[in-house]
């Protein structure tokens, strides 16, 4: 009796496969029926992500923006490509989205910059928006948030919460954007705790959870009792959670992934900006330029602060946040010294946007080096 049962099993498997194919056909029909009738009015918007939307950090924040965009503007349909490496593949992805009919393409990682500049001239009718870069063209604009502002606020928390006075910083690439955030964070830390230092470890990747976690663990071994990061995943937060130390996330609210360790996260809210930009393209009012919005625009913010943080610390953060929003002061206000103790910003002076965008030195209190010039 054994053999016939096996035969039946094989037949059943075959049946399942066939049903699957049939189900596939059925799906197709259904889809075409529910397609929006006003296809001519539809505006296709493309996104290119450096990591997966499930990273719960950088790409997640952009993907939330994409969903918000679809929700707010009914005529918008979005498509995206995730985990596109910053190199040869970015050009392929940009071309593909443009050829699929996207009218606006958001390229959401610094390393896509040259690829955008290469591809954009081939599609003069498509608007390319590159996040965090500085190269523009007739149909290429750039945008970013002043993430150093909430970084500074998170530093105010970190400085008060560290006990060992050693804070670990897991950082991606030594580019100005990351250096700026490290500096802003350190300025915040030292404003409330002048004896604390911030140790930096480079990973040379935006998204590599294993590497990020390893870097965080090595910092904890080294005596850091608070870990923060400029990485796309929450791996460093989890390292802190496991080791029972504190952590500050970034890009998205990472509290759910390290409920005991995580104190807060400097975050991005891209949604409103994506809606504004797509509306401009739709109305024909879009012009190439650079947008660099701060706390007052809501494009950057500090995620809710954990209950572990004392009320007076929270009050101080709130006060500084209001000050930054009302432009009463800047994060980088003189006197600011570099690691060697040289005064880089004189008392009464602030750092210009131009200097911030090319930032290439660490402030006093940072332990670590920027790779040789």
Partner 1 sequence: MPFHLVRRQESGMGIRIMVPLFSVLLSLLAGAVLLWLYGHSPLIVYESMLKSAFGSYYGFSETLVKAIPLMLAALGISLAFRMKLWNIGAEGQIYMGAFAASGVALAWGQWSAWVLLPAMILAGMLAGALWAYIPGVLRASLQVNETLSSLLLNYVAILWVDYLVLGPWKDPKGLNFPLTPRFTENATLPTWGDSRVHLGLLAALLLAVILWVIMRRSRWGYEIRVIGESWDAARYAGMNISRNIVLVMALSGALAALAGVFEVAGITHRLQHGLSPGYGYSAIIVAWLGRLNPLAIVPVAVLFGGMLVGGYSIQTEGVPVSIALILQGLVLFFLLGGEVFLSHRLARNDKSEVEG
Contact positions vs partner 1 (CB under 8 A): 2-3, 6, 16-17, 20-21, 23-25, 27-28, 31, 46, 52, 79-89, 91-93, 95-97, 99-100, 110-111, 114, 122, 173-176, 179, 204, 358, 360, 370-373
Closest C-alpha to 270, from 93, 49, 118:
49
Whether the Cβ atoms of residue 102 and residue 45 lie closer than 8 Å to each other? yes
The least distance separating partner 1 from the CB of residue 53, rounded to whole angstroms, comes to 8
The least distance separating partner 1 from the CB of residue 52, rounded to whole angstroms, comes to 6
Phi/psi of residue 338, nearest 5 degrees: -90, -175
Considering beta carbons, is residue 7 or 276 the nearer one to partner 1?
7
Beta bridge partners of 143: 131, 291
The least distance separating partner 1 from the CB of residue 165, rounded to whole angstroms, comes to 28
Considering beta carbons, is residue 177 or 225 the nearer one to partner 1?
177
The least distance separating partner 1 from the CB of residue 150, rounded to whole angstroms, comes to 22
Considering beta carbons, is residue 193 or 205 the nearer one to partner 1?
205
The least distance separating partner 1 from the CB of residue 319, rounded to whole angstroms, comes to 34
Whether the Cβ atoms of residue 69 and residue 78 lie closer than 8 Å to each other? yes
Considering beta carbons, is residue 196 or 370 the nearer one to partner 1?
370
Closest C-alpha to 66, from 85, 86, 44:
44
Closest C-alpha to 276, from 295, 289, 258, 263:
289
The least distance separating partner 1 from the CB of residue 339, rounded to whole angstroms, comes to 16
Considering beta carbons, is residue 185 or 207 the nearer one to partner 1?
207
Considering beta carbons, is residue 46 or 365 the nearer one to partner 1?
46
Q: What tokens appear for 176 in the block?
A: 């100005």
Please report how many Cα atoms fall inside a 13 Å half-sphere around the Cα of residue 65, on the Cβ side: 33
DSSP notation for 86-102: SSHHHHHHHHHHHHTT-
Phi/psi of residue 264, nearest 5 degrees: -175, 175
> What single-letter DSSP state applies at residue 137?
B
């Amino acid at each position: 009796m054994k053999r016939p049962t096996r035969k039946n099993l094989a037949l059943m498997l075959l049946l399942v496969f066939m049903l699957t194919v049939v189900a596939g056909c059925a799906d197709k029909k259904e889809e075409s029926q529910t397609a929006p009738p006003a296809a001519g009015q539809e505006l296709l918007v493309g996104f290119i992500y450096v990591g997966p939307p499930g990273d719960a950090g950088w790409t997640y924040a952009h993907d939330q923006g994409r969903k918000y965009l679809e929700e707010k503007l009914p005529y918008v349909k979005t498509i995206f490509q995730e985990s596109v490496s910053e190199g040869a593949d970015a050009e392929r992805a940009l071309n593909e989205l443009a050829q699929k009919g996207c009218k606006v393409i958001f390229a959401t990682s610094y390393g896509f910059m040259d690829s955008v500049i290469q591809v954009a001239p081939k599609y003069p009718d498509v608007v390319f928006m590159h996040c965090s870069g500085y190269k523009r063209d007739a149909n290429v604009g750039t945008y970013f948030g002043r993430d150093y502002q909430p970084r500074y606020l998170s530093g105010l928390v970190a400085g008060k919460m560290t006990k060992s006075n050693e804070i670990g910083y897991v950082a991606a690439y030594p580019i100005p954007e990351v250096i700026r955030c490290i500096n802003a964070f350190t300025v915040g830390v030292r404003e409330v705790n002048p004896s604390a230092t911030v140790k930096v470890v480079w990973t040379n990747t935006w998204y590599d959870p294993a590497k990020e976690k390893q870097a965080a663990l090595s910092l904890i071994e080294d005596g850091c009792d608070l870990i923060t990061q400029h990485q796309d995943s929450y791996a460093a937060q989890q390292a802190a959670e496991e080791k029972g130390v504190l952590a500050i996330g970034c890009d998205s609210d990472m509290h759910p992934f390290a409920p005991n360790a995580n104190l807060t996260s400097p975050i991005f809210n891209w949604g409103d900006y994506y809606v504004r930009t797509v509306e401009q393209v739709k109305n024909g009012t879009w012009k190439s330029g650079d947008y660099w919005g701060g706390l007052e625009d809501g494009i950057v913010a500090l995620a809710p602060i954990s209950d572990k943080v004392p009320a007076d610390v929270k009050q101080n953060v709130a006060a500084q946040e209001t000050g930054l929003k009302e432009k009463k002061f800047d994060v980088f206000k003189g006197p600011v010294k570099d690691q060697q103790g040289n005064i880089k910003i004189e008392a009464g002076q602030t750092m210009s946007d131009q200097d911030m965008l090319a930032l290439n030195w660490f402030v006093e209190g940072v332990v670590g080096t920027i790779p040789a010039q």
